[in-house]
C-alpha cells in the first residue's frame, strides 16, 4: 500500500468548470474571479475578498496595506513556512521572531508583546496547520501598542475562532489555495477585509496599479483609457482557477467534516502510544485539520528522522513538523543570539502524518499500524 501525505479533493465538476471557462475565452482575471471573491467573503463573514495568485503575494500586499516599510519591524513566529517571514523582507522590514505556545505551537502572545519596540509596525500571526491562534489576545496587544494585526491563514480556510470563521476577525487575513491546503485552485490566494480603503487599493495593486480593470473595459460601450495610479504588481488569479475554486468552496464544509472524522479516529486510535503527544483543539477553537501533526516525547524509542524513514519503507509518506525559519540558510543572520527552544524542539520532534479526503479506512488503519510497529508496540 502506498499512502500519500495529502492530495486535493477534485472531481469532474471542477474539471468541467475549468473546461467551460476556457471555452468562454475569458481565462485571465474576470467574472469567475469576482464570483469567487463574493462567495468566499460571504462564507467567512467578511465584507470583501480579493483573489490573488497565491498566499505569499497576499502576505506581501498585506504588508503594504499595513504601511510596513524599510526599517520597520514585524513580529511573527519563526515556526512557520518561510513565506511568512519572506513577506516582511519583501518590503524591507525586519522579521522579529517570537516563541510559540508549547501546547498549540501557535505564536505565544506574552512573548510576542515582550518584543514590541518603537520600530514595531505590525504583528503577523499564523494559524498553525489550521488551528487558530488566540486572535483576541493579539488584537488587544495591537490596540495597546497601535500596531496592525495581520493573519497568515494559509492553512485555515473553514477554521473558526469563538464561533466566527477565520477571515472575519480582522482587516488583513491571507489564505492559500495550494494543493496541500483543504481546498485548492491549483495555486492561488485570497485576502479578506472589512476595510473598504484596503479593498480598493488591493484591487489596484494586484493588477499593476491599473485604474480600470479588463472586465470593466470589455463591458463598456465607451472607449476607456486606463491610468496606472501607483506602482503595482501582477498578482492576479485567473478565471480558470476561480472556476475551480467556486466548486471547491461549495464543498468546503463537507471536506472539513470528513477531515475531522479522520482526525478524531486518529486521536482515539493513537491515544495509547506513550511516546507521542497528540494535537489538541482547545475550547472555543475549531480546526479544519489541514494537517495532523504528532510530537515525539523524550522517551520515544525512535528518533524523528528514523521514524519517517521506517514509515516511508512501509509505503507511508510523512513530513517533518513545521519548520523554523531562523535556522534556514537565508535567515542565518537572524539566528544570532536568538533563543527559541520551544519552536526548535517542536520542529525537530514533530511529524505530519497522512490525512486527506477521501481516505479509505484501510489507509487510516495502515498509518496507525505502521506507527505502532515503528514504536515496537506490535
Whether the predicted pLDDT of 354 surpasses 80: yes
User: What's the pLDDT score for residue 107?
Assistant: 98
CATH architecture of 12-251: 3-Layer(aba) Sandwich (3.40)
User: What's the pLDDT score for residue 280?
Assistant: 93
Domain boundaries, the chain: 12-251, 253-374
User: What's the pLDDT score for residue 288?
Assistant: 98
Whether the predicted pLDDT of 209 surpasses 90: no
Whether the predicted pLDDT of 349 surpasses 80: yes
Whether the predicted pLDDT of 217 surpasses 80: no
This prediction has a pTM of 0.95
Whether the predicted pLDDT of 45 surpasses 90: yes
Q: How confident is residue 184, by pLDDT bands cut at 50, 70 and 90?
A: very high
User: What's the pLDDT score for residue 131?
Assistant: 98
- The residue that leads in pLDDT, 337 or 319, is 319
User: What's the pLDDT score for residue 352?
Assistant: 98
Average pLDDT of the segment spanning 21-47: 97
Q: Which CATH number fits domain 253-374: 3.20.20.70, 3.50.50.60, 3.90.25.10, 3.90.1150.10?
A: 3.90.1150.10
Q: 256-310, pLDDT tens digit by residue?
A: 999 999 999 999 999 999 999 999 999 999 999 999 999 999 999 999 999 999 9
Q: How confident is residue 363, by pLDDT bands cut at 50, 70 and 90?
A: very high
User: What's the pLDDT score for residue 129?
Assistant: 97
* Lowest mean pLDDT, pick from 89-98, 206-215, 318-327, 369-378: 206-215
Q: What is the mean pLDDT of the chain?
A: 96
Three-state helix/strand/coil letters over the chain: CCECCCCCCCCHHHHHHHHHHHHCCCCCCCHHHHHHHHHHHHHHCCCEEEEECCHHHHHHHHHHHCCCCCCCEEEEECECCCHHHHHHHHCCCEEEEECECCCCCCECHHHHHHCCCCCEEEEEEECHHHCCCCHHHHHHHHHHHCCEEEEECCCCCCCEECCEECCCCCCCEEEECCCCCCCCCCCCEEEEECCHHHHHHHHHHCECCECCCHHHHHHCCCCCCCCECCCCCECCCCHHHHHHHHHHHHCHHHHHHHHHHHHHHHHHHCCCCCCEECCCCCCCEECCCCCEEEEECCCCCCCHHHHHHHHHHCCECCEECCCEHHHCHHHHHHCCCCCCHHHHHHHHCEEEECCCCCCCHHHHHHHHHHHHHHCCCC
Whether the predicted pLDDT of 1 surpasses 80: no
User: What's the pLDDT score for residue 219?
Assistant: 78
Whether 261 is a known active-site residue: answer no
Which residue among 94, 121, 165, 181 is the active-site one? 181
Amino acid at each position: 500500500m502506498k499512502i500519500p501525505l495529502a492530495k486535493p479533493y477534485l472531481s469532474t465538476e471542477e474539471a468541467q468548470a475549468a473546461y467551460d471557462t476556457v471555452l468562454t475565452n475569458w481565462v485571465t482575471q474576470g467574472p469567475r474571479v469576482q464570483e469567487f471573491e463574493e462567495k468566499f467573503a460571504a462564507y467567512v463573514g467578511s465584507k470583501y475578498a480579493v483573489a490573488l495568485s497565491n498566499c505569499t503575494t497576499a502576505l506581501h500586499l498585506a504588508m503594504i496595506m499595513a504601511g510596513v516599510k524599510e526599517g520597520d519591524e514585524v513580529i511573527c513566529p519563526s515556526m512557520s513556512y518561510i513565506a511568512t517571514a519572506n513577506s516582511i523582507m519583501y518590503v524591507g522590514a525586519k522579521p522579529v521572531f517570537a516563541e510559540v505556545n508549547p501546547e498549540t505551537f501557535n505564536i505565544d502572545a506574552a512573548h510576542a508583546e515582550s518584543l514590541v519596540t518603537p520600530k514595531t509596525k505590525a504583528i503577523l500571526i499564523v494559524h498553525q496547520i489550521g488551528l487558530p491562534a488566540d486572535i483576541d489576545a493579539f488584537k488587544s496587544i495591537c490596540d495597546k501598542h497601535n500596531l496592525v494585526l495581520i493573519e497568515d491563514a494559509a492553512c485555515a480556510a473553514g477554521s473558526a475562532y469563538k464561533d466566527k470563521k477565520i477571515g472575519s476577525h480582522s482587516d488583513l487575513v491571507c489564505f492559500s489555495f495550494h494543493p496541500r491546503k483543504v481546498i485548492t485552485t491549483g495555486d492561488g490566494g485570497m485576502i479578506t477585509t472589512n476595510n473598504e480603503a484596503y479593498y480598493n487599493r488591493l484591487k489596484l495593486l494586484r493588477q499593476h496599479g491599473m485604474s480600470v480593470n479588463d472586465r470593466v473595459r470589455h463591458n463598456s460601450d465607451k472607449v476607456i483609457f486606463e491610468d496606472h495610479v501607483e506602482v503595482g504588481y501582477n498578482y492576479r488569479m485567473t478565471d480558470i482557477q476561480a472556476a475551480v475554486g467556486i466548486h471547491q468552496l461549495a464543498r468546503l464544509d463537507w471536506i472539513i467534516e470528513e477531515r475531522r472524522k479522520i482526525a478524531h479516529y486518529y486521536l482515539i486510535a493513537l491515544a495509547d502510544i506513550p511516546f507521542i503527544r497528540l494535537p489538541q483543539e482547545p475550547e472555543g477553537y475549531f480546526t479544519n485539520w489541514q494537517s495532523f501533526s504528532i510530537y515525539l516525547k523524550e522517551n520515544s524509542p525512535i528518533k524523528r528522522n528514523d521514524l519517517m524513514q521506517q514509515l516511508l519503507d512501509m509505503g507511508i509518506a510523512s513530513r517533518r513538523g513545521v519548520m523554523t525559519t531562523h535556522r534556514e540558510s537565508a535567515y542565518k543572520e537572524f539566528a544570532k543570539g536568538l533563543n527559541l527552544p520551544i519552536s526548535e524542539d517542536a520542529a525537530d520532534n514533530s511529524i505530519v502524518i497522512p490525512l486527506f479526503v477521501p481516505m479509505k479506512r484501510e489507509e487510516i488503519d495502515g498509518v496507525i499500524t505502521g506507527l505502532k510497529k515503528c514504536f515496537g508496540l506490535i
